[in-house]
Chains A and B, each alone.
Chain A
Amino acid sequence: MPQALEGSQAIAQAVALCRPEVVAAYPITPQTHIVENIAKLVADGKLNCEMVSVESEFSAASVVLGAVAAGSRAYTASASQGILLMAEVLYNIAGLRIPAVMTCANRAVAAPLSIWNDQQDSMAVRDAGWIQLYCADNQEAVDTTIQAFRIAERCELPVMVCMDGFTLTHTLEPLEVPSQEQVDGFLPPFSFARTLDPRSPISVGTLVDPNYYSEARHSHHHALLRAQEEIIAAADDWGQLSGRHYGGLLQVDGPEDARLGILTLGSVLGTLADAREEYPEAPAAKLIKLRSFRPFPVEALQQACAGLSDLIVLERALSPGGGGIVGAEVRAALSELPDAPRVHNFAVGLGGRDVPLDIYPRLLAAAQSSGPTRFAIFDAELDRLPEGDR
């Protein structure tokens, strides 16, 4: 029986079902409700977990690093400036192969200051060496949070579960919260092979000289590539248990013979799916949800795009002076195909800009009427800018 829950409330319950032993977090909009709800579960005696209040996100991530190194399952959540303040520790967590899980309640990064949703924050730390999974709706975020602990612990890699701030975190809708038995059957107790133990001391985080550094980086890169199998296995096994499956690395939805495709990350997918029904006169596009951005699923993406003449890559972030972040990677992956589709790369919904239903026909028209767009912010109204800035 689904319950009426706010996204953040449901995520807190999902985290609690995973039986974390340590949660450390510093509040930042729009992540706040997640950790507030976890703190309440701890305070009410419903979750046996050490809730550590810290003075900054740097410390939140550091506490999680130490807790997992000492053998505890640990979790944190953040967003925007909080993610950036954590950045140094995020690299350390990943490089030390610490299987932590965090939620990124995706939000724009200042300046200009914005509390609203885009994905600039998680994209800014895409090279930290974390697995990054992007969720299209709250049910997927609940289920992915549970999968994330198993993926992290099996791969000895940290996992960042990305969910759009406000658009998902602050939306109430009917959600299924799994049972404790279901989660226990899926996620065994955490047992960390490299647990710090005073009876058998080891050093962690030592200086690595040029003799070994390249090999350490190679092994980390390969661990992420290999993690694709665990991401798929977690999605399949959880799908068996719960009846809910969101694709492993990505999910394709739409007519098989479609010539047009739209690739997205996060919650914009649902709007496009509804829009496809609302605008039957527009061509029915294949919708590709990129669920795993790190590792980047090159082969799965090539398969998903086979037969397309045009692919629109929509993203909620950009690399100023470069262009699209996801778009550039998709182009590189598809360049290996003999009949690669033309790639049109647009950013939409930056800093909370609404992505309305009618963006669907407008995007398709733009892709059909002109040559490929290398990159543009699709919904920027250029006439509001001084002429020199257009």
Chain B
Amino acid sequence: MIEVRIHGRGGQGNVVAAYLLATTAIGEGEYAQAFPSFGAERRGAPVTAFVRVAPEPFRRRCQVLHPAFLIIQDEALLQVPGVTDGLLPGGGILVNSKRGDDELSAMLGRDTAALPASALAAEFLGRPVPNTALLAAFLTLTQMLPVASLTKALGHRFKGELLERNARLIEQVAQRVSPGLWKEQADAASA
């Protein structure tokens, strides 16, 4: 079972990111679950969401305590104590950041990949919403699902021009990160 924790702020599409990742997995025949952990329901407040993906159905309803991966939609949240807590040994952190992988890896002491997701979203979608770009990067890094399946899942939410723009963004992102860099960790978690 691959468990992922997503950190962001209210208004950044954090819960949507979790739902989208689970929807993508379900669309590929996997069993998946996504749920938020709400604090104060207002824009800007830190929000956490969780995703579980497994080939077989599972029944647990507890929080994800030891994720294999973290997706951080706002890099300022890296300053918040506890954000990287519980990450499995060898786990990866994907951060929405303009900084380099090495700089962030050194800072966090963990395997970290960076993607300027807000800037890319602003360029391709006209809005700096980082979630789709980060998910495209995450799927490319882990290879846990084909990147094209993300576009397919987005088809349930968007149509026409907006869907096309998202598809172009996903293609662009897939070329910017190393395919399969985190495949080993993903395979180990799902084994």
Q: How far is the CA of A273 from the CA of B59 in the complex (A)?
A: 7
Among B27-35, B92-100, B162-170, the stretch that binds chain A is: B27-35
The smallest beta-carbon distance between B79 and chain A, in angstroms, is 24
Q: How far is the CA of A356 from the CA of B27 in the complex (A)?
A: 28
Interface magnitude class on chain A: 20 to 34
Contact B59 A137 (CB under 8 A): yes
Q: A170-B35, A172-B23, A172-B33 are in contact. Are A356 and B65 (CB under 8 A)?
A: yes
The smallest beta-carbon distance between B177 and chain A, in angstroms, is 25
The smallest beta-carbon distance between A272 and chain B, in angstroms, is 9
B interface footprint on A169-183 (CB within 8 Å = 1, 0 otherwise)? 011111000000000
Task: State whether the Cβ of B38 lies closer than 8 Å to any Cβ in chain A.
Answer: yes
The interface residues of chain B lying within 8 Å CB-to-CB of A142 are none
Give which listed residue, B23, B58, B61, contacts A267 with CB less than 8 A: B61
The interface residues of chain A lying within 8 Å CB-to-CB of B77 are none
Q: How far is the CA of A275 from the CA of B62 in the complex (A)?
A: 10
Contact A357 B60 (CB under 8 A): yes
Task: State whether the Cβ of A189 lies closer than 8 Å to any Cβ in chain B.
Answer: no
Task: State whether the Cβ of B36 lies closer than 8 Å to any Cβ in chain A.
Answer: yes
A270 nearest CB neighbor, chain B only:
B59
Contact B22 A173 (CB under 8 A): yes
Give which listed residue, A29, A171, A172, contacts B61 with CB less than 8 A: A171
Q: How far is the CA of A137 from the CA of B31 in the complex (A)?
A: 15
Q: A270-B61, A273-B59, A356-B63 are in contact. Are A172 and B34 (CB under 8 A)?
A: yes
Q: A167-B35, A172-B33 are in contact. Are A355 and B23 (CB under 8 A)?
A: no
The interface residues of chain A lying within 8 Å CB-to-CB of B59 are 137, 269-271, 273-274
The interface residues of chain B lying within 8 Å CB-to-CB of A21 are none
The interface residues of chain A lying within 8 Å CB-to-CB of B32 are 4, 173-174
Known: A115-B38, A170-B15. 15 other contacts (CB 8 A): A4-B27, A170-B35, A170-B36, A172-B23, A172-B35, A173-B32, A174-B26, A174-B31, A174-B32, A270-B60, A273-B59, A274-B59, A354-B62, A355-B62, A356-B65
Of the A-B pairs whose beta carbons lie under 8 Å apart in the complex, a sample of 11, sorted by A's number, is A2-B26, A4-B27, A115-B38, A167-B35, A170-B35, A171-B35, A171-B61, A172-B23, A172-B33, A270-B61, A271-B62
